[in-house]
Amino acid sequence: MISIKGLTKKFLIQHKEITAVDDLSLTIKKGEIFGVIGYSGAGKSTLIRLINRLEEPTSGSVIIGDKEITNLRKGELRNARQNIGMIFQHFNLLWSRTVSENISFPLEIAGVPKDEREKRVQELIQLVGLAGRENAYPSQLSGGQKQRVGIARALANDPKVLLCDEATSALDPETTNSILDLLVDINERLGLTIILITHEMHVIQKICNRVAVMENGKIVEQGEVIDVFLKPKHSVTKKFVEQVMGNEEGDLTEIIDDHSAGKLVRLHFIGETANQALISTISKQFNIEVNILQGKINQTKLGAYGTLTVQILGEIEEIDRTITFIKEETSIEVEVLAHA
């Protein structure tokens, strides 16, 4: 488990004090993929560098397992960092070294014997899908392959925690998905705790268990990914959700104006309920008609989520019976938007 308490980082820039991380507290469970999202300048990259003390905190503490990282001396910190791997947006590879030599580098620093190094490098090359590219140089690799080298290098010392600082933002969508799939595979195989920094909500949606939203150095919202997607509270979170869900509120006024008969209802689907044949069921069971006006369903690591806006037509008593049935007999949440 990772416990962050009261973490603060202040920089002095041109005689002006800037607070990049502001009294931040956070708990990350062992073995989970935890996302931190925020726009540029939110403080998320500073946060991840504070976790392994690439940046020195102004105040506060970071505890990983049974070690308080913020209290360790240089020698102790060097040893502790072997349990904390890190991958970067721009790969940070050694351009004069081959794939194998890049992956071997942290093992050399740790004093691992040559035979053990070579065996470990081959294991990691197979793990990240780079078989046959062992002797290639970074200049001969695609962006996705470079990041796979970065991931293998970060895993060389068998860390318990993997920090990912915008690890996919320099990649195209297809390559991004392949790298995210690799991170999920590594998480499941090795039981790694992964902290993923990003400004892209679809990255959070695809692989994270929980997410924290940062603004101005603070966490403004956090929770299970499905909960945050379906019920975003903070304005920044709502903007991020619109990246993948679209701006449903922006279309709502026009929909209401164009469909004044019956009742307009928004259905919130969570988890397995997104796969229920609700529309078919209520159309057969009640004397009503249902028009689907707008909807979107997405998948997260923990299940499906989404919303569906429908117009229910019929006698008002029958419409009310239908809505009551949905509320009481299913786990789908119902929001009445407008009625005649």
- Per-residue model confidence as pLDDT tens digits over 252-288: 555 655 556 788 888 887 765 555 678 888 989 999 9
Q: For the domain 2-243, what is the CATH code?
A: 3.40.50.300
Rounded distance between C-alpha atoms, residue 235 and residue 255, angstroms: 23
- Given CATH 3.30.70.260, say whether it is the number of domain 248-339: yes
Q: Residues of 210-220 as b/e, b for ≥16 C-beta within 10 angstroms?
A: bbbbbbebbbb
**Where in the chain does DSSP place strands (E)?**
2-13, 16-28, 33-37, 59-64, 67-68, 84-88, 161-165, 193-198, 210-215, 218-224, 263-270, 289-300, 303-313, 333-339
Position 335, amino acid = E
Rounded distance between C-alpha atoms, residue 311 and residue 338, angstroms: 9
Give 136: exposed, middle or buried? Use CB within 10 Å, 0-12, 13-18, 19+: middle
User: CATH 3.40.50.300 spans which residues of the chain?
Assistant: 2-243
User: CATH 3.30.70.260 spans which residues of the chain?
Assistant: 248-339
Q: What is the pLDDT confidence band of residue 223, given thresholds at 50, 70 and 90?
A: very high
Q: What is the pLDDT confidence band of residue 246, given thresholds at 50, 70 and 90?
A: low
Here the tokens at position 77 are 């910190």
Q: What one-character DSSP code corresponds to residue 44?
A: H
Q: Taking 90 as the threshold, does the pLDDT of residue 86 lie above it?
A: yes
Q: Taking 60 as the threshold, does the pLDDT of residue 247 lie above it?
A: no
Q: What is the pLDDT confidence band of residue 14, given thresholds at 50, 70 and 90?
A: confident
Output the pTM of the full model: 0.82
SS (H, E, C) 71-140: HCCHHHHHHHHHHEEEEECCCCCCCCCCHHHHHHHHHHHCCCCHHHHHHHHHHHHHHCCCCCCCCCCHHH
